[in-house]
Amino acid sequence: MSAERTPGTIWFVGAGPGDPDLITVKGRKLLEGAGAVLFAGSLVDKAATQFAPKTCEIRDSKDMTLDEMTDWLIAQARQHKTVVRLQTGDPGLYGALIEMTRPLTAAGIEWAVVPGVSSAMASMAAAGETLTLPEVTQTVILTRVAGRTPMPPGEELEALAAHKTTLCIYLSITLLHKVQEALLAAGWAEDSPILVVQKASWPGEEKIVRGTIKDIKRKCQDEKIASQAMIVASPTLGAADWPDLIRSKLYDPTFTHRFRKATEKPQ
């Protein structure tokens, strides 16, 4: 009677942007029941592992190659019912997710993904800004500029910026000059507002820098921001202080929808 036990499941859990309270309830429950956790050391606040039980095997992946990570995860899944790969923000954004899951599938190991609060959302929340505004922009582009990873054709920032929507630019703080050049080339004015948030939501470490395309680089240098930062260019920035605002139709007293009848006539 030596039937091999069924391997456990590997959960790719979004830890959120840094504040351990921003993990989802589902992610936290999985950590609480985890036999092993592999976390992305450089970005996930170690505090997120505070939810794992004392007996849990916890490993930082910062010095591991992809093969070492998948080998470790597979070995743990053969011993534990619940194994967590804890990733910063949302696992599906710049998270090497598919590279990691393919060897698991090949080894016959079950895996699943739990989404997380991405740093773009956390950065806008930190600054009290909105990603969309009626009749200003209704579209958000999550992107980066080319570093060692090239951009696929048609996704150059200049081309994306031509839409004049909200741009959340990941992995690009050391390439801020490229962001400046691309926005100007796409026709954004030099004094368009830009937001940079470093370590959004990290308790006691978050930095918010507001500037324009022209001066944002100098301001970030003054604040010594060179990593773990989100760049946002958006026509919505600063809307909290605008004298005029087009209001959302959903809450407009002249607008009827499924849950509410108009209480006023349109002017």
Number of residues that bind ligand SAH (CB under 6 A): 24
Minimum CB separation of residue 50 from ligand SAH in Å reads 17
For the chain, first and last CA: distance in Å? 80
Q: CB of residue 190 vs ligand SAH: minimum separation in angstroms? A: 23
**In this chain, which of 24, 29, 33, 43 binds ligand SAH, going by CB under 6 A?**
43
Q: What DSSP element (H or E) covers 83?
A: strand 82-87
Least separation, in Å, of the C-beta of 79 and ligand SAH? 28
At its nearest, how many Å lie between ligand SAH and the CB of residue 263? 41
- Among 10, 13, 15, 17, which residue interacts with ligand SAH (rule: CB under 6 A)? 17
Which contiguous run of DSSP H or E holds residue 84? Answer: strand 82-87
Torsion of the alpha carbons at 156, 160, 166 and 170, rounded to the nearest 10: -20
Residue 8 or 182 having the CB closest to ligand SAH: 182
| Residue 13 three-state SS | strand
234 binds ligand SAH (CB under 6 A): no
Nearer to ligand SAH, 7 or 91 (CB): 91
Does the footprint of ligand SAH cover residue 90 (CB under 6 A)? yes
The residue from 84, 171, 195, 220 that contacts ligand SAH (CB under 6 A) is 171
What secondary structure does DSSP assign to 129-179, as a single string? --S-BTTTB--EEEEE--SSSPPPTT--HHHHHTT-SEEEEES-GGGHHHH
Nearest distance, CB of residue 109 and ligand SAH, angstroms: 22
**Relative orientation angle of helices 97-106 and 66-77, to the nearest 10 degrees:** 50
Rounded CA-CA distance 224/143 in Å is 23
Sheet holding 166-170, edge to edge: 140-144, 166-170, 229-233, 193-198, 207-212
Give the residue with the Cβ less far from ligand SAH, 7 or 113: 113
Which residue in the set 76, 82, 101, 119 belongs to the binding site for ligand SAH (CB under 6 A)?
119
Q: Which is nearer to ligand SAH, 137 or 201 (CB)?
A: 201
Question: Binding string to ligand SAH for residues 49 to 88, with x set by CB under 6 A, is what?
Answer: ---------------------------------------x
Non-local (6+) Cβ contacts of 206 within 8 A are 126, 197, 198, 199, 200
How many residues can be counted in the chain? Answer: 267
Residue 220 near ligand SAH by CB under 6 A: no
CA distance 5 to 79: 9
* Interacting residues with ligand SAH (CB under 6 A): 17-18, 43, 88-90, 93-95, 118-119, 122-123, 170-171, 197-202, 228-230
